[in-house]
Amino acid sequence: MTAGADGGTDPKHQGQFFIGGEFTDPRSPGRLTVTEAASGATLAEVADAEGEDVDQAVSAARRALPGWAATPPVQRADHLAMLAEGIKGRTEELARTISQEVGTPIRQSRAVQLGNPIAITAHIAEILRDYPFEEEIGNCLVVREPVGVVAAITPWNYPLQQVMAKVAAALAAGATVVLKASEVAPLTALMLGEIAQAQGLPPGVMNVLVGRGAVAGEALVTHHGVDQVSFTGSTKAGRRISELAAATVKPVTLELGGKSASLVLEDADIATAAKFAVYNAFLNSGQTCTALTRLLVPERMAAAAVEVAVATARKLVLGDPLDESTRLGPLASQAQLDRVRSYIARGVAEGARLVLGGAEPPDGLEQGYFVQPTIFDQVLPEMVIAQEEIFGPVLSIITYSDEDQAVEIANGTPYGLAAAVWSADRARAINFARRLRAGTVEVNGGAFSTSAPFGGLKQSGHGREFGRFGMEEFLMPKSLQL
């Protein structure tokens, strides 16, 4: 899949899967349509995997497992480093494809959608070179062995980052992988197969399918040749995967939804905190699981928070994601557009005050999956827009009367993926962060790290990704009694 004359993607492998080191024709006849987020037009037609395709990919992964597990860690690290370089070498093409599939503005695609997976893969390669796979505990030699064949089921919002968070970690551990990419944004996963082939990754170590979750995804989760499942997606789908995996007692790593709070303490600078909240909540048009979509402020700061948030959001240029000046692109699909608009209408119906945006199409952008950047204030913690993940550029401003109530509101959703705290006193902010039930807490705008452990609590899932923590999800300790 190479760049075409118009900057698009060559359809060479769009109707195939990457299995056993080769691009192969599907066993199933079905096809899926990939649409361009900015126009709704057809971008590609891809194969739709079913049971026989899954069997073929799992068989390839099982055949490759003994050799890959026995490959010295330093050599596995070399392969991962080459994958990182291969991705880096195709940054512009990959970034453009993601912008077309997902709607991410091109500058953000380069910096985040490509920058993060390159960093994730390169970092795990470095960790692998010195990782202690064996240790002595008393009279035991404890060895860490790969779990086996991993089914990696990934979402559409960060289609290469979430792939490499799973694939790089599993390969580092010595496991082999069957990747099922999202049918909404599958093209970069197929391009990754090309990169793996070009870089000489051993056949069968990584296999790539595209298909629907209810068919290909469930076939993978229930397959007796799969030893572990790693899934990123909705909480509803995560529950279903857990139920299916229980039949064969497979371990499951889940990174699910979020309804994250950015909590502003009395001594914080509201202008800085409110600007950050908008930029974070609207990153990737709000299609980010860690988006800080609830801004919690002291009652006396509410008016200032609204003023700053609205002024900041108005400066975001909404438009074609391939335009270098665009800061806010479309959503990824018609289904996503309908979902977000329905939540905006629900917020109005519940009595929250709409201070910016709304459910109507933006002027001049009636084609494609565009939604206005939207801000509500006078939002009550129990409202649906304050409890459920919207996955669009919608920010809710909520007030609190004291710090205990602030913690209660921040922790008062089914989710626990991310949060943020703002204070002029760093030590105070850290102490406050300890009270928040979230897997990741940003303190005073601390940068998101792809080296530290990432994952959630409660209905945001379990298990961790990134760095050595992500690799250890795919390692099983064995005790040799000496």
The enclosing domain of 371 has a CATH number of 3.40.309.10
What's residue 10's pLDDT? 52
Q: pLDDT for 220-276, tens place per residue?
A: 999 999 999 999 999 999 999 999 999 999 999 999 999 999 999 999 999 999 999
Could you tell me if residue 34 is inside a domain? yes
What's residue 311's pLDDT? 98
Could you tell me if residue 4 is inside a domain? no
Q: Are residues 232 and 367 in the same domain?
A: no
Band of residue 2 on the pLDDT scale cut at 50, 70, 90: very low
Does pLDDT of 424 surpass 60? yes
Band of residue 14 on the pLDDT scale cut at 50, 70, 90: confident
Residue 355 neighbours by CB distance under 10 Å: 17
Band of residue 127 on the pLDDT scale cut at 50, 70, 90: very high
Band of residue 6 on the pLDDT scale cut at 50, 70, 90: very low
Please say whether the beta carbons of 262 and 420 come within 8 A.
Answer: yes
Does pLDDT of 13 surpass 90? no
Report the sign of the C-alpha dihedral through residues 344, 241, 465, 115, in that order: negative
What's residue 194's pLDDT? 96
Q: pLDDT for 158-216, tens place per residue?
A: 999 999 999 999 999 999 999 999 999 999 999 999 999 999 999 999 999 999 999 99
Does pLDDT of 3 surpass 70? no
Could you tell me if residue 3 is inside a domain? no
Does pLDDT of 330 surpass 70? yes
| CA 65-119-294 angle, 5° bins | 110
Please say whether the beta carbons of 228 and 251 come within 8 A.
Answer: yes
Active-site hit among 101, 194, 289, 442? 289
Does pLDDT of 279 surpass 80? yes
Q: Are residues 409 and 341 in the same domain?
A: yes
Q: Are residues 145 and 285 in the same domain?
A: no
Residue 33 neighbours by CB distance under 10 Å: 11
Q: pLDDT for 306-321, tens place per residue?
A: 999 999 999 999 999 9
Q: Which domain holds residue 385?
A: 261-450
Does pLDDT of 468 surpass 80? yes
Of 415, 339, 321, whose CA–CA distance to 113 is shortest? 321
Q: Are residues 346 and 307 in the same domain?
A: yes
Could you tell me if residue 55 is inside a domain? yes
What's residue 7's pLDDT? 40
372/385 Cα distance (integer angstroms) = 16
Mean per-residue pLDDT over the chain, rounded: 96
Q: pLDDT for 448-457, tens place per residue?
A: 999 999 999 9
Dmax over CA atoms of the chain, in Å, equals 73
Of 375, 415, 374, whose CA–CA distance to 398 is shortest? 375
Please say whether the beta carbons of 168 and 124 come within 8 A.
Answer: yes
Please say whether the beta carbons of 172 and 124 come within 8 A.
Answer: yes
What residues does 143 pair with on adjacent strands? Answer: 134, 478
Q: Are residues 243 and 325 in the same domain?
A: no
Average pLDDT over residues 383-390: 98
- 255 classed as catalytic: yes
186/208 Cα distance (integer angstroms) = 10
Could you tell me if residue 442 is inside a domain? yes
Q: Are residues 231 and 347 in the same domain?
A: no
What's residue 63's pLDDT? 98
Q: Are residues 231 and 274 in the same domain?
A: no
7/438 Cα distance (integer angstroms) = 41
- The tokens for 186 are 């599958």
Could you tell me if residue 315 is inside a domain? yes
Q: Are residues 288 and 336 in the same domain?
A: yes
Q: The CATH number of the domain where 466 resides is what?
A: 3.40.605.10
Q: Are residues 98 and 168 in the same domain?
A: yes
Could you tell me if residue 233 is inside a domain? yes
- The tokens for 143 are 């060895």
Rounded to the nearest 5°, which phi and psi values hold at 420?
A: -150, 150
Does pLDDT of 1 surpass 80? no
- Return the percentage of the chain with pLDDT > 70, whole number: 98
Of 410, 398, 481, whose CA–CA distance to 442 is shortest? 410
Of 268, 276, 294, whose CA–CA distance to 410 is shortest? 294
Band of residue 77 on the pLDDT scale cut at 50, 70, 90: very high
Count of structural domains, the chain: 2
Active-site hit among 36, 183, 255, 442? 255
- Return the percentage of the chain with pLDDT > 90, whole number: 97
This prediction's pTM: 0.95
Q: Are residues 333 and 410 in the same domain?
A: yes
Average pLDDT over residues 420-436: 97
